[in-house]
Structure 1
């Protein structure tokens, strides 16, 4: 996504360097030393200068910020996805966007070939200078992070060291096995709650069902990250309960990150009102989360020491065995990153299933053949048999991705699309727009899970698309570390819901907001008919 670049400005004849610029220089130098980026000197020799990349021209003093003023600028009235679509339509497959207060210059890529080139240039230790407000917060909360800033905001060797410890315990296919039973239990409880939430006459869920999806997501990620049930699915959960406060804080966190890192902001020069609010929100969220992380750590301390079968250990147990501080930071990351994202994806998945009854029946046939008894336990062996269900999730993520795309900060000067991209520049692969191109996915507006099936002969296969067109979880060393757990949560929920209900939708096209992440805007008023 399009993130910030703070430009140097002349003040009293001297150059003011931002905190961000200093970090870019140090992390870029470190990454270059350990990268495997191929020699591109020959390409750079003939590359056109960065200033020639098409894009809205920044005016003297004004820059480009005025173009994004709400209701005034030509892009200001629209959400992020529409802004990017307009820029692509105006300027082509590679677009430069600069001259906006608080944003670093960004290069937007709208073709899979250019995206592939970006990923090929990322090196062994890819940089992603994003979530800069989050990194600033973590640098100022040494009592919590103690120099370990997690996978999202770390760079260079510190990121590599953290990731290399986490990968073996999160990225292996069977890493989800110790958590499936508890996630299945959460899904069963959620289905029962859905029954109680329905209107007795219309059988529709209430307007605020989206908040219930966030509760399910928080309860699921807590059981994974903490080996602990937080109690999010209790009936009549109070507005001031810890689960609801955490959910509200995550919403505010993403909203403020959008205001600080995407919209024009002066927080890098002084502590703005939104930055102070951001710190308060994260302090509240972390205050609750750390309490439960530390309680879980103490509870599992003896078990971790005595359990000799590492395959049966939970993620928290495995990470505690390696590094207690790293386990704490990773648990906090999972709690903050696994609520809005998974909750919104689950809502969109249910929408596409409800809005395509013939696909829903095909899905139900598969689910009932694998799990004929509703009370049968869900296991790893059952999940790996869900071919059509997995295709349904893939197609939903194509139509409703978590974000606009994947970002990399160039570790050295590179050439992309015939243009020179200097080190430290953010480049964004805009997959959300690419996956809607008919040249990549014919009939792109339609929900067609079959395109992901190997034995499909009726619909154009997704295999015909460019390999770098569809990247819902990222690519390479910085691919999403929680991917397998998110997929397991979604598969388990989908299996459980479809086995219990026929889902219907009677309220028009799905609406969503495209900001820092994509967020559901329509009331999730599904009609649930018992089977």
Structure 2
């Protein structure tokens, strides 16, 4: 990533204390200013700065004429708008509600708390439309957590979140996640031996690991993604290709004029076709898992799988559970793959950080030969700091949004009901006033003593925030911790090419091949 510099030696204690006091003073003054703005007479939303707006087409014309605007570089455009107009900007695009983008963590915190009871998300409307108009009525007019709001969303969310977010439930899958990561380490060693570095399509290998990992949880069985002889036309490989096509098509449809709401455009038809193909394969796998579970002998000693527990949950229908599993398979491939790829890249670029992480892994695991345990994960303090810092410097998700259900004052402006509010967390993560040495990769900042000063809890949000926080967060974190522990235990990673550049496909991705080199440590 251009502008990401090497980590410097940690500052002396007196300098850290000075930074801490300065940051605390700045944060306190921002809180006071924000509180004063919310209590004083607000300004109308029409006065919010932003790109020039025109009748009927809003800011769309200004956007497409801007040299920094491109569908696959939308994160660059938004960053330039924030730099030009400040911590709150207004955007208006036809067929969408007006939107404000905010980058003040105090305003973000107040906004999340204000909307905690009923967080209405700006959903993937094209996805929802496809599921609502499904000719076979597969979804029974209930389109799932990704696309629902209000009572229907909360009906499902309130019943599944204990199974998805409770540590005890997720840790049950640690042994199989660890086994998958160990097998993938062998795959890395084989590729290194064969090519002398990772091939240009190494990200596809990461996708295989990710689908195998999330499949072990969602479907409670192995899919065979890591078989070195897996056929290109096999179901797992087709699923991965379809997920990639879904993300690409969603960008083409959602980051455009929404005329597909009036009639099916070619991009919308392609998205619908891809969704139908993915649904067909995923549903087949879900039915196979159901059949295998039903064929098992009842046992009081056996722990229920995630799918079994959800199917037995009062208030959830089979189709509720099937839709959740489907979305886990769809959303669990790109996100963790890209997050870990960025972490590997940053570790390769900062060998002193990599060395410290390897030392922690060696200390925690020692001569342990068995699978990773929850006790091991609990001791990986620096590893968790590396993950947090990586997701701050190069996040896979740039922002999240909410729709206002009533008028609210944000940054001194009265935002009308029905407007969309986008929290641009990517920009906050690189804000020097929030993160001293913001362009550097310094995992130490996340350690308990906070050597670079306190960190605002809403200054970065890679999994969203509040009640609509990503339902798969605990699963994704456990996958990442397990993967990094095993790769650092066995290899030293290097990257000898140009800095990566990011492209936007709903999640951020590297535009350049991730041709890492992995050297065996022992």
Q: Distance in 2 between matches of 1:308 and 1:334?
A: 28
Q: Which residue of 1 aligns with 2:62?
A: 67
Cα 1:194–1:53 change in 2 (3 A) is same
TM-score (normalizing by structure 2): 0.88
**Quick one: which of 487, 497, 513 aligns to 2:503?**
513
CA contact (8 A) 2:249 2:271 kept: yes
Q: Which residue of 1 aligns with 2:235?
A: 242
Q: How far off is 1:493 after superposition? A: 0.6
CA contact (8 A) 2:44 2:413 kept: yes
Q: How far off is 1:330 after superposition? A: 1.1
Q: Distance in 2 between matches of 1:307 and 1:158?
A: 34
Q: Which residue of 2 aligns with 1:278?
A: 271
Cα 1:530–1:374 change in 2 (3 A) is farther
Worse overlay, 235-244 or 179-188: 235-244
CA contact (8 A) 1:178 1:313 kept: no
1:244-263 → structure 2 map (5 Å cutoff): 244-263=237-256
Q: Distance in 1 between matches of 2:377 and 2:325?
A: 25
Q: Distance in 2 between matches of 1:199 and 1:302?
A: 43
**Quick one: which of 408, 411, 431 aligns to 2:425?**
431
Q: Which residue of 2 aligns with 1:127?
A: 120
The one-character-per-residue Cα deviations of 1:43-82 (angstroms, maximum 9, x if unpaired) are 699322221111122123553222333xx43442581111
Q: How far off is 1:418 after superposition? A: 1.5
Q: Which residue of 2 aligns with 1:460?
A: 452
The one-character-per-residue Cα deviations of 1:357-377 (angstroms, maximum 9, x if unpaired) are 111111111111121236321
The one-character-per-residue Cα deviations of 1:68-121 (angstroms, maximum 9, x if unpaired) are 33xx434425811111111112211111101x2343311100211221222122
**Quick one: which of 484, 489, 498 aligns to 2:479?**
489
Worse overlay, 336-345 or 354-363: 354-363
Q: Distance in 2 between matches of 1:76 and 1:84?
A: 9
The one-character-per-residue Cα deviations of 1:472-520 (angstroms, maximum 9, x if unpaired) are 1111111111111000000111111111111111112122213421112
CA contact (8 A) 2:42 2:409 kept: yes
Structure of higher RCO (CA pairs closer than 8 Å, 6+ residues apart): 2
Are positions 1:313 and 2:308 aligned together? no
Are positions 1:147 and 2:138 aligned together? no
Unaligned runs of 5+ in 2: 1-34
Q: How far off is 1:334 after superposition? A: 0.3
Q: Distance in 2 between matches of 1:500 and 1:74?
A: 45
Q: How far off is 1:409 after superposition? A: 0.7
1:281-430 → structure 2 map (5 Å cutoff): 281-303=274-296, 306-308=298-300, 312-322=303-313, 323=316, 324-373=318-367, 375-430=369-424
**Quick one: which of 191, 203, 206 aligns to 1:213?**
206
Q: Distance in 2 between matches of 1:484 and 1:448?
A: 23
**Quick one: which of 479, 489, 504 aligns to 2:469?**
479
Worse overlay, 384-393 or 60-69: 60-69
**Quick one: which of 192, 201, 224 aligns to 1:198?**
192
Q: Distance in 2 between matches of 1:509 and 1:307?
A: 54
Are positions 1:266 and 2:256 aligned together? no
CA contact (8 A) 2:346 2:390 kept: yes
CA contact (8 A) 1:118 1:427 kept: no
Task: Tell me the SS of whatever aligns to 1:79.
Answer: helix
CA contact (8 A) 1:222 1:230 kept: yes
**Matched pairs, number:** 481
Q: Which residue of 1 aligns with 2:494?
A: 504
Q: Which residue of 1 aligns with 2:98?
A: 105
Task: Tell me the SS of whatever aligns to 1:484.
Answer: helix
Alpha-carbon RMSD across the aligned residues, in angstroms, is: 2.0
Q: Distance in 2 between matches of 1:61 and 1:526?
A: 49
TM-score (normalizing by structure 1): 0.87
Q: Distance in 2 between matches of 1:365 and 1:267?
A: 54
CA contact (8 A) 1:297 1:320 kept: no
Are positions 1:177 and 2:171 aligned together? yes
Task: Tell me the SS of whatever aligns to 1:145.
Answer: coil
Q: Which residue of 2 aligns with 1:35?
A: none
